[in-house]
Amino acid sequence: MLHPVGPLPAAVYWRRRLAVLVALLVLLGGLGWLLLSLVPGSGSSGPAASPTTAAAPAEPPALERVVPAVSGVRTPGTTAPPSAPPAPAGPTPGGSCTDEMLGLEVRTPGTAAVGAKPTFELVVVNTSPVPCVRTLDKQLQELVMVDAAGARVWGSNDCFPESSSDQRTLAPGEPVVFPVRWGGLTSEPTCTAERVTPSPGDYVLRGRLDTKVSGDAPLTIG
């Protein structure tokens, strides 16, 4: 085998043997490639998956099952504005008149002579839009006079207090007027001090209905 015998030169026989060897290797390589291509899943050149096989639904990644979606998370810039608080309820028709629902005013003649006995008025008015009920008893009403220095000069309940039972339904805007006549003399709550005629000058009167207090009304005595 290693020493070819024939009429041709030895190189010819070696070339022939080499060609046969190469052909044999090519044949073996082709057979091996064919066998590998027939094995399922052996590469991208294998048969395609059956078209009738339905694709399994993709399961969400584990992170999405734990962490909420970004669209469901409120950021400081997208925080919804707070809802407006409910409007406060208005006054109930036929309920009690609170101080905030009433107007209270004192009316004077403006001037009075020394020793005169003018009549003042305490005016109560329902300033709310609905009728309401208020107790207007005499013992709950009071007028007080003070001088320019703020000293108390006279009070309507000092010496001749009155009492009554007077509960009324006040219509919206309708005034109720209570006249009070002044005797022209000073007084104090116990009515034990000497009562004298006030000196000429400027004074103010203030009214009260239980816990509701009026503004000042001027009075000049001269």
> Does the residue 213 lie in any domain?
yes
How many CA atoms lie within 13 Å of 120's alpha carbon, on the beta-carbon side? 29
pTM of the entire predicted model? 0.58
> Does the residue 75 lie in any domain?
no
Q: Is there a single domain that holds both residue 210 and residue 124?
A: yes
> Does the residue 71 lie in any domain?
no
Residue showing tokens 């208020």: 134
Q: Is there a single domain that holds both residue 207 and residue 124?
A: yes
> Does the residue 107 lie in any domain?
yes
Q: Is there a single domain that holds both residue 103 and residue 209?
A: yes
Q: Is there a single domain that holds both residue 129 and residue 29?
A: no
Q: Is there a single domain that holds both residue 20 and residue 106?
A: no
Q: Is there a single domain that holds both residue 30 and residue 113?
A: no
Tell me how far apart the terminal alpha carbons of the chain are, to the nearest angstrom.
163
Q: Is there a single domain that holds both residue 106 and residue 200?
A: yes
Q: Is there a single domain that holds both residue 123 and residue 22?
A: no
| Residue 182 structure tokens | 């002044």
What's the pLDDT tens digit per position in 88-138?
Answer: 566 778 899 999 999 999 999 999 999 999 999 999 999 999 999 999 999
Residue 81 has pLDDT above 80, yes or no: no
Which CATH number belongs to the domain containing residue 178 in this structure?
A: 2.60.40.2360
The range of the structural domain enclosing residue 25 comes to 7-39
DSSP 44-86: TTSPPPPTTSPPPPPPPPHHHHHSPPGGGS--GGGPPPPPPPP
Q: Is there a single domain that holds both residue 24 and residue 106?
A: no
- DSSP H or E stretch at residue 88: none
Could you tell me what percent of the chain has a pLDDT over 90? 57
* Whether 196 contacts 147, CB under 8 Å: no
* Whether 63 contacts 69, CB under 8 Å: no
Q: How many domains does the chain have?
A: 2
> Does the residue 44 lie in any domain?
no
Q: Is there a single domain that holds both residue 109 and residue 190?
A: yes
What residues have CB less than 8 Å from 109, skipping those under 6 apart? 118, 119, 219
Q: Is there a single domain that holds both residue 110 and residue 187?
A: yes
pLDDT at 199: 96
In this prediction, residue 78 has a pLDDT band, given cuts at 50, 70 and 90, of low
> Does the residue 202 lie in any domain?
yes
| Residue 122 structure tokens | 């305490």
Mean pLDDT of 188-211: 96
pLDDT at 137: 96
d(CA 97, CA 14): 132
Q: Is there a single domain that holds both residue 129 and residue 203?
A: yes
> Does the residue 66 lie in any domain?
no
> Does the residue 57 lie in any domain?
no
d(CA 197, CA 40): 128
Identify which of 131, 135, 120 has the alpha carbon closest to the alpha carbon of residue 165: 135
